[in-house]
Amino acid sequence: MITVANIEQALTRPAPVASSDYDYAPGLRTKSRMLRPAAVLIALQEGPRGLEVILTRRAAHLRNHPGQVAFPGGKVEDHDAGLWQAALREAEEEIGLARARHLGALQGHESVTGFEISPQVGLIEGQFMPRPDPSEVEEVFTVPLDFLMNPANMCLHQRPWRGHMRGYLAIPYGPHYIWGASARMIRNLAERL
């Protein structure tokens, strides 16, 4: 079983090279481009099955990534004091999470939508009852960290994208289909552990 101490130790090691949505579809990469900074919160909490990861299903009416599974997070704003603060601000806006203990960060991840995402890892201490903002989040759910860290639960899939087949990582969990950038950041954490 993975512990908080395991995670803290893993996050002190030097980060590998940044990951990208193009890792499984390198032929689709266009020339280099300016990426906008974003931060997400990989929020961990103790649960009946050990450490669990909080994930959201984005609201179906959103213009970008409707109905997809994601970590709480979003664009870094000018008033954010840093990447951790941006991730925590977004988590408070989206699911009502106001506090967490910062455990560290993973390497950045380039999204096909033009963001350089900084995954920030945090531990929720004490009880937390999610309050999803319906304008952004349709559902909040947890997945056991041990399940997500098991490579046997990760698979490569393909789908058409802009006239080409695009490879991507997926982690199916019950009725939830975790894929793309979220799955790739989960894999980054698994590789660090």
Helix%, strand%, coil% for the chain, nearest 5: 25, 40, 40
SS3 183: helix
Q: Which domains, from first to last, does the chain contain?
A: 4-192 (3.90.79.10)
Burial 22-36 (b: 16+ CB within 10 A, else e): bbbbeebeeeeeeee
Per the document, the length of the chain is: 193
Give the predicted TM-score (pTM) of the model. 0.92
DSSP structure class, residue 126: S
Q: Is the dihedral of CA 63, 65, 68, 72 positive or negative?
A: negative
Each residue's pLDDT tens digit in the chain (193 positions)?
Answer: 899 999 999 999 888 888 888 787 766 666 677 889 999 999 999 998 899 999 999 887 777 676 789 999 999 999 999 999 999 999 999 999 989 999 999 999 998 888 999 999 999 998 899 999 999 999 999 999 999 999 999 998 877 766 777 778 999 999 999 999 999 999 999 999 9
CA 190, CA 6: separation in Å to the nearest integer? 11
